[in-house]
Amino acid sequence: MSHKLDRQIYLEKMLGERQAEESIVPSSSFNENENGGRSRKEAEAESEDQPGFNVMDMLWHGGSAWDAWFSCSSNQVAQVLLTLPYSFSQLGMTSGIVLQIFYGLLGSWTAYLISVLYVEYRSRKEKENVNFKNHVIQWFEVLDGLLGPYWKAIGLAFNCTFLLFGSVIQLIACASNIYYINDHLDKRTWTYIFGACCATTVFIPSFHNYRIWSFLGLGMTTYTAWYMAIAALVHGQVDGVQHTGPNKLVLYFTGATNILYTFGGHAVTVEIMHAMWKPQKFKYIYLYATLYVFTLTLPSSTAVYWAFGDELLNHSNAFSLLPKTRWRDAAVILMLIHQFITFGFACTPLYFVWEKVIGMHDTKSICLRALARLPVVVPIWFLAIIFPFFGPINSAVGALLVSFTVYIIPALAHMLTYRKASARQNAAEKPPRFLPGWTAMFVINTFVVVWVLVVGFGFGGWASMTNFVRQVDTFGLFAKCYQCKPAVPPPATH
C-alpha cells in the first residue's frame, strides 16, 4: 500500500511540475513530445506501469528548458576551446576578443531565427493535423515545409556536410589530445581507436536522451577552460615572448573564420528544440548559453595567448604548450570524454537523415536502429584519417559550410518566409520586444547575410583554404602524426 502511495505522490509531483512549466507558454502548445511523439497523457499512462521512482528516467529522458541550455552550452564549446588561443595568435588580442563577442551575438541571433521558423513550421503542420509520432523534425524539413523542395535540398546538403565534417573534427581532436598523455602510439593509430569508440553513439536514440551527457559535458569543458587560464597564468610568459599578430591577411581571416565556427554550433538547433516538452521556450536559450560560453572562452584564450604568444602559430592545440601535470592530464581526459559526447551531438542528425532514407526511422528497436546507423560512421572515420589537420580544418569548415548552414540560410529563410503581409500577420512568433518591428528584423537579417557572405565565406574561404592547402603540402594526406614533436634519434654507438 505504501509503495502505491509513494508512486502516486511521485506521479502527481511530476505532473504538477510539467503543468507549472506549461502555464508560462502560449496556449498553442504542441501535443507531441520528441520521445516517439507521445502526448503527455500517453506518457502518464505509461508511467502508471512503472514501479515508482525511476532513476533512468531522471538521467535519460530530458526535455526541459534547462536540458536544452545544457545541450547548447555543451555542444558549443568542444575541441574548439583548444584552438582559440591559436586563433588569437593569428588575430591579435584585441581582434580575438571583439570577434568572439561579435560572432557570439550573431550566432545567437540566427539560432533565434531557426527556433522561430521551427515554431512556424510546426504550428502550420498541426493545423493540418499532421502527427509527428516517432518522427524527429529536422532543419531541412522546416525549409521544405516553409519554402519548398529547392530550399530543402540546399539545407540538407549544407547541414549534412557540415555535421559530417564536424564529426570528423571530433575524431581528429580525440587523437590529438590523447597523444599528449600517451605518445607511444601516433595520432593516426589513436584515430583508429577512437573511431571505434565513437561508433557506440549509434545506440543513443535521440537528443531526448542526452540529459546526463550534456550536464557532464559542460562540467568537463568548464574545468578545461579554467585549467587553461590558470595554468597559463601560473606558467607565466615564455622567454622572449612576442605578440606580433595580426601580420598576415591569410592568418587573420583564418583565425576569424575559426571563431565564426566556434559560435556556429547550432546546426542541431531544430533537433534540440524537438526534444523539448515545450519548444516555444527555446527562443533565448542559445543566447544564455553563449553568455556562459564567453566565461570559458575569453579567459582561457587570452591567458594562453598572453603566456605563449607567437609560439601558438605552430601549435594549434593549446595542450601542446601547457606543462605536463596531473591537472593537464585530467583536462585531456575530460576533453576526450566530452568530444565523444560532441561526436554524438554532430552525428545524431546524420543518423536521423540516414534512417529516413532507408526507411528505418520509425523502428522502435534500438539495436536494429544502431545497426542501420553504422554506415554513417565509416566515411567520418575515413575522412579523419585523410585530413588530420587540427585547427586549419576548423577554419575551412567554418568558412565554407558554417557560414551558409547557420548564418546565411536561416537569415534568408526568415526573410522569405515572412516577405508577405499575410504571413507576418499570422506569424506564430512576432518580432522580439527589443525591436520596433518587422523592418528592423529584415535589416538585421540583411546585414548578417552580407557580412557573412563577404567576410566569412569570401575572405575567410580564401584564407582558410590557402592555409589548409599549405598544411597538405607540408604534411601530406594521411599524415601519420600531424604537428608531433620530431623523434629523438638514438645515441650514436661506438
Per-residue pLDDT tens over the stretch 306-338: 999 999 988 888 888 998 899 999 998 898 888
Average pLDDT over residues 454-469: 86
The DSSP code sequence of 339-380 is HHHHHHHHHHHHHHHHHHHHT-TT---HHHHHHHHHHHHHHH
Measured CA to CA, the distance from residue 246 to residue 256 in angstroms comes to 11
Find, among 273, 293, 289, the residue nearest to 281 by Cα.
273
Measured CA to CA, the distance from residue 128 to residue 54 in angstroms comes to 36
Binned at pLDDT 50, 70 and 90, residue 148 comes out as very high
pLDDT at site 41: 41
The SS3 of residue 217 is: helix
pLDDT over threshold 60, residue 439: yes
Residue 26 C-alpha cell reads as 502560449
Find, among 204, 223, 225, the residue nearest to 340 by Cα.
204
Residue 104 C-alpha cell reads as 557570439
Measured CA to CA, the distance from residue 395 to residue 91 in angstroms comes to 13
pLDDT over threshold 80, residue 293: yes
Q: What is the pLDDT of residues 61-92, one digit of tens each?
A: 667 888 889 888 888 877 788 889 999 999 99
The DSSP code sequence of 10-72 is HHHHHHHHHHHHHTTS-S---S--TTTT--HHHHHHHHTTS-S--HHHHHH---SHHHHHHHH
pLDDT over threshold 60, residue 424: yes
Measured CA to CA, the distance from residue 294 to residue 102 in angstroms comes to 11
Find, among 319, 436, 367, 393, the residue nearest to 169 by Cα.
393
Give 457-480 as a 3 state SS string.
HHHHHHHHHHHHHHHHHHHCCCCC
pLDDT at site 176: 76
Q: What angle do helix axes 409-417 and 139-147 make, rounded to 10 degrees? A: 30
pLDDT over threshold 60, residue 296: yes
- For residues 95, 101, 104, 105, the Cα torsion angle rounded to the nearest 10 degrees is -130
